[in-house]
Structures are given as structure tokens and as C-alpha cells.
Amino acid sequence: MKSIAVVNYAEEKGSVALRELDRPRIRTDEVLLEVANVGVCGSDLHQWTADHSWPVNYPVVLGHEFGGHIVELGTNVDGWKEGDRVVSETAAVIDATNPLSRQGLYNLDPTRKGFGYGVNGAMTRFVRVPARCLHRVPDQLPFEQACLTEPCAVAYNAVLVNSTIRPGDRVLVLGPGTIGILCAAMATLAGAEVAVVGLENDRSRLEIAKGYGCETIIGDATEWAMRYDGMGVDCVIDAAGVSATLRSALDYVRPNGHITKVGWGPQPMNYSLDPLIQKNVTLQGSFSHNWPIWEKVLALLSTGKLDVKPIIGGVWSLGDWHEAFEQMHSGKVVKSVLTPK
Ligand SMILES: [Zn+2]
């Protein structure tokens, strides 16, 4: 039985097309998941437009933000059954003996390979998933929302694990993409006063950010950053996809403050980091997520404390993947979701 899949087949720009695939055969420690929904990530777009900075195992099925039902179980899989509603983490291949993996930080295992670039992802009907990647999705949480557990986990790690934010802190988020908006939502949950910064053509995405209880700023955020005591903000979350924003972050952050960089930017920087020293600032990277973070995010989503509905710009069938990618790429929608049905 063949199913269609959105496949990134080569390194050249635009090398994404629908292809037919056989139903995957699972290994003993894996389950076969029938995909209900899969989110389009900025990184899927980057592989499509060929401006990504990570190695891709061509040809590969795109998609790493997904959930669905278990339809088949490997002989060594315990604790799950057919029909279970699940979402999957993204670290499809890890070295369990790696010192980072042994610490539970398998997201930082340098040999880690993720769905959608290292192994076949979920923009298709069936995907094979190691059982250790699975998390149960409560019945009241629809898959359209549950498939966004992954970007929420990225934001949770950046804001609530890798940054220290206390109630009353002032937090500036640079970049109103999915991750930026979700970071703002997390900082609001932590009791901070939050503003999201974007550019002129980000207006519609900033409007969505407002729904998460934060202010929005177009362009220069100095006035907001210096409001009250003139010292700058406690924390800047850099979720923009360019290197240049770190320079602004250094201006906005207060002495002894914190900058967390979660947005990738392949461009080299041509400025001095001396303000980092002079202001005694902590610069923190944040990458991916691990098991406890997924459980916390699923709790937030299923209790309604975090609502991802406002960021979902539409649900498209796999056949309309191009439209779904284009809408998100142009910034018309924050997040596109696909359904293989
Ligand atoms: Zn993603």
C-alpha cells in the first residue's frame, strides 16, 4: 500500500515534491503512527528554500511536529496499545550511551538525528517512531493543537528552563514567528511583562501576539526597554532568524540581565560583543527540548492554560502542501498545519 508524502529530495532550492512511499516497516522498539496532523516548521521552509545550516539525509519526508494514533507496535514495545493518541518528540535517533543522553539531555547528543531531516518525518500517512519518543495526548486535546507540542516545547525550554524569569520581570521577545509568539506566551505565564518586536510587514503576526497578553512593537524597542528605570529589560529572548538582532538585544538588556538566543541565523556577526562584558550579561543558547518539557507542555495545552489555536492559520491537505508552505513563508499565517487525510 502506497501513501503520498511531502519529500525534500535534493539540496537545490525548491527540491520538495509529493512522492509515493511504501508503508514503513517498524523495528522491535518502534510503533507505526498514523499521522492525524503535522505542523509546518520554519525549518521545513528552510530546507525547501535551501537556506538551512544542518545536514539533510536526502531524500527525506519533511515534518517533525506531529501527532496521531498508534496503528502497529514492535514486539519490544510496552505500555502502549493500538489506537492510543500520541505526539512524538523529534530526536528520532540518539546514542543512548552518550554522556548527554545518560543525563536526559539527549536533545544535545551531537549524533542525534531528527525527523524531517535525518530520518523520514510525518508529512505522510504513516511514520515509524521509537516508543521512547511518545507522549500520551489527553482526549480533550485535538490533534490540530497537539501537533504543536513541539514548538511549544522549544519555547518552554528557552523561556522557562534556559532563562530565569520571575513574576514582575520585563521580557522583550525579538521576532513574531511561531517560536517568538510562543516564547511571549510562556513569559506571560511566568508573570512577566512582555513585548514582542517585529518589522513593518509583521503587523498581522504581531496582532496575534497581542492575544497572548503582551504588547507589540514595530522596529525600535528602546523606548519600551528603558521604560520605568531606564536600565533595560531583565531578559531578551531572541527568536528572530537573523544574527543582527543579537546586537539590538545587547542594547535592550539591563546590566546583569539575560539574553536567550533561540532563533538561528547563519550570517556571521560584524560587531563587538564588548557590551556583553561591560553589562555583565549572560548570553544563553537554547536548543530543542526533552521528555519532562513535553509533559509540562501537554499539561499546559490540555488544561487550556496555553491555547495554540490563535497561531494556527489554516489546515491544508498534503496535496496542498505548497500553499501551506507559501502562506507561512510570506508571513500571512503564523503556523500552517497539514493533514494527510
Ligand atoms: Zn519545528
Q: What is the pLDDT of residues 129-163, one digit of tens each?
A: 999 999 999 999 999 999 999 999 999 999 999 99
Predicted local distance difference test score (pLDDT) of residue 53: 82
Predicted local distance difference test score (pLDDT) of residue 69: 98
298's enclosing H/E stretch is: helix 291-302
Q: How far apart are CA 250 and CA 222, in angstroms?
A: 11
Answer yes or no: are the C-beta atoms of 252 and 194 closer than 8 Å.
no
Dihedral sign for Cα 181, 318, 14, 9, please.
positive
Give me ligand 1 centre to Cα 256, in Å: 31
Query: What average pLDDT does the structure give for the chain?
Result: 96
Predicted local distance difference test score (pLDDT) of residue 341: 79
Answer yes or no: are the C-beta atoms of 224 and 172 closer than 8 Å.
yes
Retrieve residue 236's grid coordinates.
Answer: 531578551
Give me ligand 1 centre to Cα 215, in Å: 25
CA angle 301, 304, 306 (to 5 degrees): 60
Give me ligand 1 centre to Cα 100, in Å: 21
**Residues 19-58: pLDDT tens digits?**
999 999 999 999 999 999 999 999 999 999 998 888 999 9
Q: How far apart are CA 313 and CA 207, in angstroms?
A: 13
Give me ligand 1 centre to Cα 254, in Å: 30
Predicted local distance difference test score (pLDDT) of residue 113: 96
Give me ligand 1 centre to Cα 326, in Å: 16
User: Residue written as cell 517512531?
Assistant: 129
Give me ligand 1 centre to Cα 53, in Å: 14
Answer yes or no: are the C-beta atoms of 40 and 1 closer than 8 Å.
no
Q: Is 11 helix (H, G, I), strand (E, B) or coil?
A: coil
**Residues 74-87: pLDDT tens digits?**
999 999 999 999 99
Residues 6+ apart with CB under 8 A from 199: 218, 219
User: Residue written as cell 520581570?
Assistant: 169
How many angstroms separate the Cα of 141 from the Cα of each of 52, 89, 299, 300, 309? 32, 17, 10, 11, 11
Give me ligand 1 centre to Cα 278, in Å: 35
Terminal-to-terminal C-alpha distance of the chain: 15
- pLDDT mean over 231-258: 96
How many angstroms separate the Cα of 273 from the Cα of each of 174, 250, 280? 18, 8, 11
**Cis before 59? omega within 30:** yes
Compute how many other C-beta atoms are within 10 angstroms of the C-beta atom of residue 187: 31
Give 242's pLDDT tier (boundaries 50, 70, 90).
confident
Model confidence, pTM: 0.96
Q: How far apart are CA 302 and CA 310, in angstroms?
A: 15
Give me ligand 1 centre to Cα 179, in Å: 9
Q: Is 125 helix (H, G, I), strand (E, B) or coil?
A: coil
**Residues 94-108: pLDDT tens digits?**
999 999 999 999 999
Give 321's pLDDT tier (boundaries 50, 70, 90).
very high
Give 206's pLDDT tier (boundaries 50, 70, 90).
very high
